[in-house]
Structure 1
Amino acid sequence: MRAMLRWAHADLRTHRGEALFLVAATAGIVASLLLATALFGYATNPWQRVFTRSHGAHVWIHTGSAADTGRLAVLDGVAAVSGPYRTATTTVSSRGARAGVELRATDAVPPATGRPLMTSGRWLDPAAPDGVVLEAGLARALWAEPGDRLTVAGRTLIVRGVAETAERRYRPGDRPGTVWALPRAVPRDGPAGQVVGLRLTDPGDTDYTVQRAVTTLGAGAVGDISTWQQARAEAQGDTKLLGQVLGLFGLGALIAAALAVFGAISTRVRGHLRDISVLKAIGFTPGQVVRIFLVQHLAFAVLGAALAASLVRSVGSRLPGRLGDAVQVWQGLPGHLPALLLIPVAAVLFIGAATCLAAWRAGRVPPVPVLPPAAAPGGGLSGPARKALGLRVAPALVLGWHRAFGRGRRAPAAVVRLALPLLLITVALGAWTTIERFDSRPEQLGLAAALTARPDGTLGEREATALLVANPDVRAAHPGLEVAALVPGQTGTIALRGLGTRERPYPYSIAEGRAAQGPDEAVAGQGLLDLLGAQVGDWVRLTAGGRPQVLHIVGRSIEPENGGRVISTSLDTLRENDPGLRPSLYQLQLRHGAHPRTVSAELADASRGRLDIHEVTSPADHLSALRGLVAGLVTVLALIGLTELSTTIGGSVRDGERDLLALKAIGLSPRQITTVTVTAVGCTALTAALAGTALGVPLAHWLIDHEARATGIGAGIAQAPSVLHLVALTAAAVAGAVALAVLPAARATRHRLADTLSAVA
């Protein structure tokens, strides 16, 4: 044991750089995995993030104004109470859009429990008695921003801020939005009540606490109850796809990190073949050699993992941009500490397994060192290499290419390990460009209309159409209606949509088949086809409003709404069965460059409030967090790629030390010898980048379309990264590899002759 420890100590003193690299590589990989976990928690738990930061209430109880809600504070299991707040239910309008709201009277100081988190603007101020703060979902529906004016029961209120809340969100026609206001701005006439929030000691006792609260107040006094489970379920439904995407990236990053660690350890063992032979020659057994390397690398791994965990915990929240925000939020989420411990432990265990395999190979090294057959740089040159020399290509470049790819299985393994993070970065860029496509070319993804206008009962069809097309920014106004329909054998409903006319059909995004043109023809979303087990060309029978509809599906359209459970035809087709049908909405296509908010305000003024106008929502709105997270994911993958690149550089430099005498003997200068090593590293990086991008583009297409099909939108939305982005990624990988390799390659050429002889002895 003493001899083993003495050798390990001597090896550490001799190869301090390699030891430092292994510790740094382990720390970088563990830190990357921890940051990936933080990003995943940040993106897929938006509700939990808001709930934690706002010290949210687990239960919100709406009661009548006469209920004695003060008795709830003394219930067992209630840790804190928010409110009670006096409420009034009313309707607000802004820029032609209307929404049902609950005005909530609160103080100028935000509450400690259930505190709204400001995303823009400021909280209420007694100096501005007409100021209000809107829930973020309600603000989006109304297109309202700080400084805008709202009309509430004939009174004008000014938006001071927009805030996020962990309560259930605004849903048109289902749940009113929340508007926080000072008590004097909340009317006392009309429907009134109060709401109180309860934060529980044990969230698992929510159902029991709700029962006790209802018993305490009386069932007749309770109007509505919403729990944290309901709010969380609603919020997580919008991030399911995002969670799947990030989970896939996390798995890929884990595999890439595992390969990078294995490559680093294997490269280091290969560099110690001479030392291993000496150890065996002086009496060390294969088992002792294995234990030396295992204990040594486990110590490096433990040190690196502990360093990474300490750094992420202490300074991770100070990182710039989304990474710092993600770490800060992650540290406040449940399960943060177990993940902070389990990830480093798992990394150390994997490094131990990889070390066992590499050390087992080290134990089989013969006591007498054997010069590798590829020691002579010119030996075994391939035909293309000889032809390149014959064409007077610089010998340094030819020998560099030969060192990169002419030495057995190590070159393909290095290319694979480096290509994997580059492949995942390409997929991440594909996800980014697909989301950008919803904004830049929405008409190709089922979002040809930018606005939806719903006339009230006083506007006739001709009058509404004339009013809409009179606006110079409205390119087309397609009349239509949407009703719930039943299909045979199904208890749920699907959406039957009649939109446009045969003379002016609505421009659906057709991914398969063709557009509906004749009578009884329709296009369907992927979700509907999956529900019915149908395909393009089939006939389906629906029942809407007690009237049967038999439609011929001639195409599959990209449908981002209603989970793709939509079948669309022309309004003329629906009127053939029911001539009394009148359009209930108009889908408005705007001219290029027209701003939806400006057009909405103009139409609202022109119609004198008889049009309810809303902006068409895009799936990209729910995935907007992915845009900021792509940069974080690319950073994590780049760290893993940098670790593997460092291993590749170390192996190439070590090969260069072995070849140094031969290269000097054939007349190469130190600069040319440095060029050989740099060329070898650059060729490896270029091959890995080309392979990663070439495989990443079709993989991104397949993954995005597969997820789109699973969510009902349908395949056909994927957009590959631009050629410019792929070229930039390849150039960055090669330039980074060359820049990192120059200094160690130049140092290797200055080794003494005795050192070089010992390296090949």
Structure 2
Amino acid sequence: MRATLRWANADLRAHRGQTIVSVLATAGIVASLLLAAALFSYATNPWERIFSQTRGAHVWLSTGADADVAALTRLDGVADVSGPFPTARTTATSGGVRAAVEMRAAAFEPPEVGTPALVSGQWLDPEKPSGIVLENSFAQALWAETGDTLTVPGIGGTRTLKVIGVAETAEPHYRPGEQPGVGWVLPSTLAGTANTADGDAGQTLGLRLHDPRDTDFIVQRAVTELGADQVAGVTKWQEARADAEEGYRLLGLVFGVFGLGALLAGALVASGAISTRIRGQLRDISVLKAIGFTPGQVTGVFLIQHLAMALLAVALGTGTILAFGSRIPGRVGEAAAVWQELPGHLTLVLGLPASAVLLIVIATGLAAWRAGRISPVPSARTAGTGTTVGPLSRITRSALGLPLGLGLSVSSTLVLGWRSAFPRRPQAASAVLRLAVPLLLITVALSVWSTMERFQEHPEQVGLPTALTARSGHNGNLTEQQTRRLLAGHPDVTGVHPGAEVDALIPGQTGTITLRGLGTDAHPYPFTVEEGRHPDGPDEAVAGQGLLELLRAEVGDWVRMTVGGRPQILHIVGRSLEPADGGRVISTSLDTLRDRTSAMRPDFSLLELRPGSDPRAVSAELGERVDGGLEIWEVANPADGLSPARWGIAGLVVVLALIGFTELLTTIGACVRDRGRDLLALRAIGLTPRRISGVVVVSTGYIALAAAVVGIGGGVLLSRWLIDTQGRLSGIGAGIAQLPSVWMLTGLGAAAVLGAVASALLPAARVSRRRIADSLSETL
């Protein structure tokens, strides 16, 4: 064991440069994976992030205005409180858009528990008595931003408030008809609203607990302490988390797949680097065997070496991120700082480095086991390992321009570079595969990015041809037809489609689906049909992927459902992309529903907008045109929940690029080593040092080109299958994938080849200046 350790130490010192590069590369990969994990956790755990940043409350209680909530602060298990905040529920209007709001009276200083995290603007200011701070989801529903104004009922009329800030909280988001929005105002502003004058006032209190698992017990004690008649509502942190994370499940799945892919790519790179390093030490292995080392001791030497290097690299990469990650400017540093407070942080910090060490140990063990079987006799070693390269073929000699022993042709560098890049099929295929895997994953990441851009820039191609949903206010003086004429009169509105939506029972009455009537026979709704055709006759409909799988139906089938106790039979003539309700939607024209149910009336209108129009500006102008107000909201886009993925995908591309660069350095090192051994032969046939350098550069370029073709081509095929499969499983339906442009893919391949060529220039120049005596000694 002492001899093994001494030789391992001597070998590492003899190859300081190679050891340092290997350690730094591994440390960089580990650090990049940890940063990517921080970004992924930051993006896929929005509620956890906000809860940690704002010191959120685990329980929110809505009580009567006279309830004595001071006793709740003394309950065992309550660590701190937020409030109580006097509240009043009312209706806010901004640009004609109305929504329910819970106005809370707050102090000039934000509360220490449940502190609203400002997205824009500022907190309440005594110099701005008419200011209001809106919760982010509520502000989006009102299309309101910092600086906008909104009106609320007040004593003696309406009162105008100015939005001075928008903030995020860990409470449930605004949901029309279910959960009111939240707005913070000064106590004097709250006292002037109509609801407080009518006695419809209350108060809200947040409780932060020592142990979140005691939530149900604390709620029971709080209700008992206050009295059930004083408690109007209870919101627990589990409900808020479920509400916030509902739209991020797909994002977590995407990042999980990419994370596993990055680990796979890192494992392949580590395996290739270790195998290449051991192949370059065949002479050293012969010396070890000659002085009496057994195969087990040879294997142990390399295991000890690479285990020590892996532990050093992992410690260096992990320590750097933990110590300096939060100091990185921008979103990355913010993610690294918040990540330490998120659940699962310790698991990832320990799991990722441990996985990296395990992969390196496995790869080293396999390569070291093969090294232990190598014969110490050079001739036997060459024959056994298949390292010899056969003679030049007739085609190769013709390409070289040497059939009569004349001078070298211009193609000699290219042909010899090709022969140098692929001397042995197994090793060449392995090098190409290891470099192709990062390129494949980068192509998949770019495809996901392009698909998200398709949802946002061309929603009409993915089942979202309309941008706004409008419903006239209950206090309006216009009929539905008059309202639609006013909506259609806006210059940016290109289509107004009346619609109705009801729940229907499936055959057997074991579940419900959504039955929609959209458009009319004269003005049909522009469904996005991926299979079949548009409905253009009586009783014809299109269905989403989720409904087809639920009913085990296909395009062309007739389906029967029950609506309000009456049967409804429709002929499915097409499969449409349906982002809503998990695709469990069947849609026909409104006229078809009216024929079956005379009482069916349109209760909303879907608006098509001119390309490039601003939905917020259109909704504000429409709200002002309709007397009595207009309930209007944006059609939900699945890509809105994936917007945080952009930073994560960008970080992933950087990680994969670093992994690919590490593999490229391994490939260049192998080419330089092989060309060093062939230096005597290359000079003997008349190659100048410049052409010898060219052979090394060209061989590296060929390998990168082959990897680019395999990786990008495979990535294109895999991307379409993965994205369409996810679309089918989510119910939207296959056909949503958008591949990157040809120019982007060409640029990716060109960047890989040019990067390989540029990285090989300096090592190639060094090998061409080596002495022939050194090259001769390496062949022995």
Q: TM-score, normalised by structure 1?
A: 0.97
- Report deviation, 1:321: 4.0
Amino acid corresponding to residue 148 of structure 1 in structure 2: D
Corresponding residue SS for 2:197: coil
Does the 8 A contact of 2:679 with 2:772 survive in 1?
no
- Please name the residue that 2:174 is paired with: 170
Residue 15 in structure 1 maps to residue 15 in structure 2: yes
In 2, Cα distance between the equivalents of 1:244 and 1:380?
52
Partner of 2:400: 389
Q: Any conservation in 2 of the 1:377–1:659 contact (CA below 8 Å)?
A: no
Deviates more, 1:81-90 or 1:320-329: 320-329
Q: How far did residue 375 of structure 1 move? A: 11
Distance 1:417 1:442 in 2: 37
Counterpart of 1:238 in structure 2 is: 247
Partner of 1:157: 161
Alignment of 1:688-699 (within 5 A): 688-699=707-718
- Do the aligned partners of 1:322 and 1:629 also contact (CA within 8 Å) in 2? no
2:622 maps to amino acid: L
- Residue 445 of structure 2 corresponds to residue 428 of structure 1: yes
1:572-591 matches, cutoff 5 A = 572-591=591-610
Q: How many residues align?
A: 761
> Within 5 A, what are the aligned runs for 1:148-227?
148-153=148-153, 154-186=158-190, 187=193, 188-190=196-198, 191-227=200-236
Question: For residues 357-368 of structure 1, what are the structure 2 equivalents within 5 Å?
Answer: 357-368=366-377
What letter corresponds to residue 610 of structure 2 in structure 1?
R
**2:12/2:19 contact within 8 Å kept:** yes
After superposition, what is the alpha-carbon deviation per residue over 1:534-563, rounded to whole angstroms, capped at 9, x for unaligned? 221122222223333211111111011111
Distance 2:133 2:396 in 1: 72
Q: Confirm whether residue 638 of structure 1 aligns to residue 657 of structure 2.
A: yes
Tell me the secondary structure at the aligned position of residue 111 of structure 1. Answer: coil
The aligned residue for residue 734 of structure 1 is 753
The AA in structure 1 aligned to 2:28 is: G
SS in 2 for 1:399: helix
Cross-structure match for 1:68? 68
CA distance in 1, matches of 2:330, 2:725: 31
1:412 aligns with 2:423: no
Q: Structure 1, residues 301-321: CA drift from partner, whole Å, max 9, x if none?
A: 110010011011112223344
Shift of 1:323: 2.9
Q: Name the CA distance, whole Å, in 1 between partners of 2:94 and 2:536.
A: 38
User: How much does 1:378 deviate?
Assistant: 8.1
8 Å contact kept, 2:500–2:518: yes
Match of 1:325 among 324, 327, 334: 334
Give me the whole-angstrom Cα distance separating, in 2, the residues matched to 1:238 and 1:411.
44
For residues 387 and 306 of structure 2, the distance between their equivalents in structure 1, rounded to whole angstroms, comes to 32
Report how far residue 576 of structure 1 moved: 0.5
Of residues 462, 465, 480 in structure 1, which corresponds to 2:481? 462
Matching residue of 1:626: 645
Aligned partner of 2:616 among 587, 597, 613:
597
Inter-CA distance 68–552: structure 2 relative to 1 (3 Å threshold) = same
Q: Does 1:380 align with 2:391?
A: yes
**Are 2:536 and 1:511 equivalent residues in the alignment?**
no
> For residues 555-598 of structure 1, what are the alpha-carbon distances to aligned partners after superposition, in whole Å with 9 as ceiling and x for unaligned?
11101111111111101001112233322111111223322222
Amino acid across the alignment from 1:263 = G
TM-score, scaled to structure 2: 0.95
Measured in 2, the distance between the counterparts of 1:380 and 1:577 equals: 83
Shift of residue 207 of structure 1? 1.0
Counterpart code for 1:254? L
Match of 1:524 in 2: 543
Deviation at 1:439, TM superposition (A): 1.9
Alignment partners' CA distance in 1, 2:163 and 2:41: 32
Structure 2 residue runs of 5 or longer lacking an equivalent are: 403-408
Counterpart for residue 276 of structure 1? 285
In the TM superposition, what is the alpha-carbon distance from 1:737 to its structure 2 partner? 1.1
Instruction: Decide whether the 8 Å contact of 2:86 with 2:105 is kept in 1.
Output: yes
**Structure 1 residues 480-499: aligned runs within 5 Å:** 480-499=499-518
Deviation at 1:671, TM superposition (A): 1.3
Identify the residue that residue 320 of structure 2 maps to in structure 1. Answer: 311
User: How far, CA to CA, are the matches of 1:502 and 1:471 in structure 2?
Assistant: 23
Relative to structure 1, the CA distance from residue 490 to residue 319 in structure 2 (aligned partners, 3 Å threshold; closer, same or farther) is farther
Cα distance between partner residues in 1 of 2:221 and 2:19: 62
Q: Structure 1 residue 59: deviation in Å? A: 0.7
Partner amino acid, structure 2, of 1:129: P
Question: What CA distance in whole angstroms lies between the structure 2 residues aligned with 1:467 and 1:752?
Answer: 87
Partner of residue 446 from structure 1, selected from 463, 470, 479: 463
Distance 1:425 1:381 in 2: 37
Contact 1:377/1:663 (8 A) holds in 2: no
| SS at 1:139 equivalent | helix
Classify 1:463/1:656 alpha carbon distance in 2 versus 1 (closer, same or farther; 3 Å). Answer: same
* 3-state DSSP of counterpart to 1:484: strand
Query: What is the Cα deviation at residue 63 of structure 1?
Result: 0.7
Name the structure 1 match of 2:406.
Answer: none
Separation in 1, partners of 2:97, 2:398: 74
Residue 40 of structure 1 corresponds to which residue in structure 2?
40
Contact kept? 1:498, 1:571, Cα under 8 Å: yes
Shift of 1:372: 4.2
Q: Who is 2:109 aligned against? A: 109
Q: Could you say what the CA RMSD is over the residues aligned between the two structures, in angstroms?
A: 1.8
Measure, in 1, the Cα distance between the counterparts of 2:23 and 2:395.
Answer: 40
Q: 1:387 to 1:174 in 2, by over 3 A?
A: farther
Where do 5+ consecutive residues of structure 1 fail to align?
Answer: none
Instruction: Write out aligned runs for 1:1-150 (5 A).
Output: 1-150=1-150
Match of 2:251, SS state, is: helix
Alpha carbons 1:135, 1:164 under 8 Å: kept? yes
Whole-Å Cα distance in 2 between the matches of residues 490 and 182 of structure 1? 52
Question: Can you list the C-alpha shifts for 1:347-384, whole angstroms capped at 9, x where unaligned?
Answer: 21221121111111111111222374799998433555
Moved more, 74-83 or 335-344: 335-344
Quote the Cα distance in structure 2 between the aligned partners of 1:130 and 1:21.
Answer: 62
In structure 2, C-alpha distance between the alignment counterparts of 1:699 and 1:318, rounded to whole Å: 37
- Determine helix, strand or coil for the equivalent of 2:586: strand
CA distance in structure 1 between the partners assigned to 2:185 and 2:127 by the alignment: 13
